[in-house]
Amino acid sequence: MKVRLLGDPILRKKAKPVTNFEQIKEIKEEMLKIMYLEDGVGLAAPQIGLSLRFFLMDYGEGPKVIVNPQIFEHSEDTEEGEEGCLSVPGIFADVRRYKWVKLRYQDENGSYHEELFEGYAARIIQHETDHLDGILFIDRLPSDVKKQLALELRKIMRKRLEETK
């Protein structure tokens, strides 16, 4: 199990809802190991090659499993903050996100929750939920910033192609 890089088609697919919660329990520990090893604060299933709607996150309060998330309310206010992504290594840029989000989701046992996330946690939720919809943080950058990053992004895609040979 390894992190899929920019250019991998699974990163651009809308992930399927989770119905088998045992599958999450089986791979959760391995995903956490990868996330911590790579210095990540979140890791979505598509990033390891699974088209399933769940992700793990840890913003300093211990690991949390978020399954079948739905942002059902958010602030009107937004703020910019630096983001990076394990699937787009070495690239960091400011992304505009909502200051808070209300999330409806299931945990790894299938129980339903509604929770308010603010600040950094809200940013992680939005970033990882985007992954489940086939959206990468670089898609949210202004075109002039994307142009500045174009060479580095091509290098990442080349690296991915070399790894798949």
88 in a structural domain: yes
4 in a structural domain: no
21 in a structural domain: yes
Closest CA to 97 of 134, 141, 133: 141
Number of domains in the chain: 1
Domain range spanning residue 160?
9-164
Is the pLDDT assigned to residue 38 strictly greater than 80?
Answer: yes
72 phi and psi, to 5 degrees?
-110, -5
Q: Label residue 162 by pLDDT band (50, 70, 90).
A: confident
Give the pTM.
Answer: 0.93
Q: Which tens digits make up the pLDDT trace of 57-104?
A: 999 889 999 999 999 999 999 999 999 999 999 999 999 999 999 999
* 128 among known catalytic residues: yes
The dihedral through the CA atoms of 151, 155, 156, 160 has a sign that is positive
Owner of token pair 């990053």: 149
1 in a structural domain: no
What CATH number did the domain enclosing 147 receive? 3.90.45.10
131 labeled binding residue: yes
46 in a structural domain: yes
101 in a structural domain: yes
3 in a structural domain: no
Catalytic residue among 73, 128, 152, 162: 128
Owner of token pair 């960091």: 92
80 in a structural domain: yes
**What DSSP string describes 8-70?**
-GGGGSPPBPP--HHHHHHHHHHHHHHHHHTT-SEEEGGGGT--BSEEEE-SSS--EEEEEEE
Query: Which residues 6+ apart lie within 8 Å of 158 measured at CB?
Result: none
85 labeled binding residue: yes
